[in-house]
Amino acid sequence: MHAAALRIELYLRECRSLKAKRAAVKPMVEGLYKRHRVSVAEVDHQDSWHRATLGVAAVASTPKHLGEVLDHVERFVWSFPEVEVLRIDRLWIEEEDET
């Protein structure tokens, strides 16, 4: 089993309220789940109008497939012109061999 997580920091310049922020972030969160079957949630800056941090987790049978999924997730996030991507960090989770 291979697992990884992404921390995606976003800047939402045009948002003037939390309602506007939700309207900008929700299609991204739902799209990531529906298209790529990853777990995704807003994990930081919930009370800020202009910032959002998404956490994305994925599991795959091979490291190659997992890397491809994460690449697709990143491209999907970058495809939203109203959102500026500030930073994306990848965290690979190593499984300890118990043999």
Supply the pLDDT for residue 99: 55
pTM: 0.84
In a domain, 49, yes or no: yes
Supply the pLDDT for residue 32: 94
In a domain, 54, yes or no: yes
For 75-99, the pLDDT digits (tens) are 999 999 889 999 999 999 877 665 5
Domain range for 51 is: 2-91
Supply the pLDDT for residue 96: 63
- The answer to whether the CB of 36 falls within 8 A of the CB of 24 is no
Write the CATH number for 28.
3.30.70.1120
In a domain, 56, yes or no: yes
In a domain, 96, yes or no: no
Ranges of the chain with pLDDT below 70: 96-99
Give the H or E element holding residue 65.
helix 63-78
In a domain, 24, yes or no: yes
In a domain, 99, yes or no: no
Q: How many domains, the chain?
A: 1
Supply the pLDDT for residue 13: 87
Buried-state track 10-29, b at ≥16 Cβ within 10 A, e below 16: bebeebeeeeebeebbeebb
